């Protein structure tokens, strides 16, 4: 059978999806991940580059992939000792299984010539990232509604809510200016642990995001000032108002004044009331994603105190130039043992 390789230029289509027991799956497909050698990668061997930068697979896998041509440089097979140079095109050919998401529709609430408003369900990332390409808001809207291109802001994968998307670059630029000037405000609702204070709480704490580990920490100005050390991260402020409480949990209105990565999640943790099901900031013990080769949230769920068993067999995939994510392995797929070694 001739293998048809897909690239980011191939749009998602309606028949790419399978729905089963409330879960949206993507049919496995062959994919060419493409990236270009960064300056800091230059001078390393092709195997060292992958083994050090993309830890989702063991070094032995990358040795094998280079030898058999699943990893190529500028469209050519190379030796495992090949030294990469800046801007070279790196291709990684894989038989790919995307992670499943909940089968809730991405509902189109309002459509205009240059603006689209949708309701994003939880568990679905907004745009292609990591192991997600078709199982994204952008992919689903293109496959099921023919809506493309879209210029958008982002909500975290685990968050649900409204997305207002621009359908032209000029409209997107106008939205950007409005957001940067403070004309647009966002509000979130979160269920947190404990009885949240009745009065409005304002948290001022720098947010320091560690991209490699996929999580943030906070640092308070007074502490750092007294210790004569510089503040890390970026200045951040969030206002919280309790909506209700049942004595065990509270529902809280969250108003971020700034927009830092994981700001609400880490500020609630700092306030002593982490989000109830947020294992990344609820757990005392969180494994490093860089050493475990998985997403930060998955590392927290797997190694936190309230780990739950997963009926799916998980394996790890790693894309060139992308971060790794867990994804479901389909034992009925006969291509997996050869083209996607078990993680």
| Alpha helices (H) in 102-211, listed in sequence order | 137-145, 169-180
Distance CA 63, CA 47 (A): 6
Contact 202, 257 (CB under 8 A): no
DSSP class of residue 15 equals G
Question: What residue spans in the chain does CATH classification 3.10.290.10 cover?
Answer: 14-97+333-339
The residue ranking higher by pLDDT, 76 or 155, is 76
What is the arithmetic mean of pLDDT over 16-44?
94
CATH 3.30.2350.10 domain extents, the chain: 102-180, 188-300
Q: Is the pLDDT of residue 231 over 70?
A: no
Question: Given pLDDT bands bounded at 50, 70 and 90, which one contains residue 189?
Answer: very high
pLDDT band at 304 (very low <50, low <70, confident <90, very high): very low
Point out which residues pair with 89 in neighbouring strands. Answer: 36
Number of neighbours of residue 103 by Cβ within 10 angstroms = 17
State residue 274's pLDDT score. Answer: 95
Res 321 pLDDT > 90? no
Tell me how far apart the alpha carbons of residues 225 and 189 are, in angstroms, rounded to a whole number.
33
Mean pLDDT, rounded, for 8-36: 93
318 close to 301: Cβ distance less than 8 angstroms: no
**pTM for this predicted structure:** 0.72
Q: Which of 48, 156, 288, 330 is catalytic?
A: 156
Which residue is listed with tokens 């062959």?
A: 30
Q: What is the mean pLDDT of residues 61-68?
A: 96
- Distance separating alpha carbons of residues 324 and 330, to the nearest angstrom: 18
Domain covering 188-300: architecture: 2-Layer Sandwich (3.30)
Of 299, 218, 231, which is closest to residue 262 (Cα–Cα)? 218
3 state DSSP class of 165: strand
Dihedrals phi, psi of 184, to nearest 5 degrees:
-110, 130
| Among the four given CATH numbers 3.10.290.10, 3.40.50.720, 3.40.50.1370, 3.40.50.360, the one describing domain 14-97+333-339 | 3.10.290.10
257 neighbors 200 (Cβ within 8 angstroms)? no
Q: Is 314 annotated as catalytic? A: no
Phi/psi of residue 300, each to 5°? -65, -45
Q: Which CATH number fits domain 102-180: 3.40.50.1820, 3.30.2350.10, 3.40.720.10, 3.40.50.11820?
A: 3.30.2350.10
The DSSP bridge partners found for residue 151 are 166
Q: Please give the torsion angle defined by the CA atoms of residues 34, 50, 322 and 274, in that order, rounded to the nearest 10 degrees.
A: 180
Predicted local confidence at residue 214, as pLDDT? 83
- Cα(167)–Cα(163) distance, integer angstroms: 12
């Amino acid at each position: 059978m001739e293998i048809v390789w897909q690239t980011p230029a191939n749009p998602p289509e309606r028949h790419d999806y399978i729905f089963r027991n409330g879960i949206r799956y993507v049919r496995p497909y062959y994919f060419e991940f493409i990236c270009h050698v960064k300056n800091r990668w230059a001078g390393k061997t092709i195997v060292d580059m992958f083994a050090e930068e993309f830890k989702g697979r063991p070094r032995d896998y990358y040795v094998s992939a280079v030898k058999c041509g699943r990893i190529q440089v500028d469209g050519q097979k190379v030796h495992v000792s090949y030294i990469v140079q800046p801007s070279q095109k790196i291709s990684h050919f894989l038989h790919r299984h995307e992670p499943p998401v909940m089968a809730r529709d991405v509902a189109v609430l309002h459509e205009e010539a240059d603006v689209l408003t949708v309701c994003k369900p939880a568990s679905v990332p907004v745009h292609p990232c990591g192991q997600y390409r078709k199982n994204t808001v952008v992919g689903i809207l293109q496959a099921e509604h023919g809506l493309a291109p879209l210029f958008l802001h982002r909500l975290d994968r685990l968050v649900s809510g409204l997305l207002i998307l621009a359908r032209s670059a000029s409209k997107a630029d106008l939205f950007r200016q409005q957001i940067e000037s403070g004309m647009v405000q966002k509000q979130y609702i979160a269920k947190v642990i404990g009885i949240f204070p009745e009065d409005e709480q304002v948290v001022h704490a720098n947010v320091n995001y560690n991209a490699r580990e996929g999580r943030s920490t906070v640092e308070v100005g007074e502490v750092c000032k007294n210790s004569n050390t510089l503040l890390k991260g970026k200045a951040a402020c969030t206002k919280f108002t309790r909506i209700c409480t049942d004595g065990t949990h509270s529902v809280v209105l969250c108003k971020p004044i700034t927009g830092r990565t994981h700001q609400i999640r880490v500020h609630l943790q700092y306030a002593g009331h982490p989000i109830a099901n947020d294992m990344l900031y609820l757990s005392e013990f969180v494994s490093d994603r860089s050493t475990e080769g998985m997403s930060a949230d998955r590392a927290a769920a797997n190694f936190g105190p309230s780990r739950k068993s997963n009926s799916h067999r998980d394996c790890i995939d790693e894309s060139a130039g992308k971060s790794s994510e867990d994804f479901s392995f389909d034992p009925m797929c006969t291509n997996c043992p050869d083209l996607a070694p078990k993680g």
